[in-house]
């Protein structure tokens, strides 16, 4: 990462660092740019990296035994993405990660993250809090899938990702919501009539 305090401040909101700590962070965060359609991760890959999204849009998805795609996450500016099941274990990836809109990312390896924890302990607290919020969000999503109607899930989706519909295909949104593209079209018509 080229020396740019503003990027570090953007990634690590509410944290302050010494000049030495900034150099350490810059040494392990690697800026990468990917074009729309790039697949960053495929099922059965070894996962030792996670990505901070500076710009663009990505999605993580699983392909079931029938070949059907299930979108698990969209990642937009200021979000993180990886296959966390594999990242936190020794198993291979069960997810795929695809770039949906040209993206600028900052890549952080698992080893480099551990190095950051050892060198700058308050970064570990930052990542722990991020993980706690992500876990809570995934739990809410599971509950909404179990208890909400498809229309309620769609409304929640557009509140969470207000500008994403221009960047992703309808079948990506439908797979995220667990519905067909026909159901998605019907829900949109019903909501626009209200």
Of 124, 103, 111, 114, nearest to 12 by C-alpha is 124
User: What span, in angstroms and rounded, lies between the C-alpha atoms of 73 and 187?
Assistant: 21
Q: Are 55 and 103 in contact (CB under 8 A)?
A: yes
Which domains, from first to last, does the chain contain? 5-120 (2.60.120.10)
Q: Provide the 3-class DSSP secondary structure of residue 72.
A: strand
62-72 burial, b at 16+ Cβ within 10 Å, e below that, comes to beeeeeebebb
Burial class from Cβ neighbours inside 10 Å (0-12, 13-18, 19+) for residue 116 reads buried
pLDDT in tens, the chain (194 residues): 555 567 898 999 889 999 999 999 999 999 999 999 999 999 999 999 999 999 999 999 999 999 999 999 999 999 999 999 999 998 999 999 999 999 999 999 999 999 999 999 999 999 999 999 999 988 998 999 899 999 999 999 998 888 888 778 999 999 999 999 999 999 999 988 87
User: What span, in angstroms and rounded, lies between the C-alpha atoms of 144 and 64?
Assistant: 21
Res 1: pLDDT: 52
The tokens for 54 are 């500076």
Whole-number average pLDDT of the chain: 93
What count of residues does the chain have? 194
The tokens for 162 are 């207000």
Res 3: pLDDT: 52
Q: Determine the Cα angle at 105 with ends 116 and 56, to 5°.
A: 145
């Amino acid at each position: 990462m080229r020396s740019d305090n503003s990027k570090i401040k953007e990634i690590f909101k509410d944290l302050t660092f010494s000049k030495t700590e900034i150099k350490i962070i810059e040494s392990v965060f690697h800026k990468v740019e990917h074009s729309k359609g790039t697949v960053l991760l495929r099922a059965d890959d070894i996962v030792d990296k996670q990505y901070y999204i500076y710009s663009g849009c990505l999605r993580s998805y699983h392909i079931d035994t029938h070949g059907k795609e299930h979108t698990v996450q969209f990642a937009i500016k200021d979000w993180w993405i990886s296959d966390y099941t594999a990242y936190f274990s020794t198993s291979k990836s069960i997810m795929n990660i695809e770039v949906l809109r040209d993206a600028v990312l900052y890549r952080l390896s698992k080893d480099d993250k551990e190095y950051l924890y050892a060198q700058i302990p308050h970064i570990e607290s930052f990542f722990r809090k991020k993980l706690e919020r992500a876990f809570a969000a995934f739990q809410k999503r599971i509950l909404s899938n179990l208890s909400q109607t498809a229309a309620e899930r769609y409304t929640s989706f557009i509140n969470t990702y207000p500008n994403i519909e221009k960047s992703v295909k309808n079948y990506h949104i439908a797979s995220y919501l667990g519905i067909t593209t026909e159901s998605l079209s019907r829900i949109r018509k019903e909501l626009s009539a209200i």
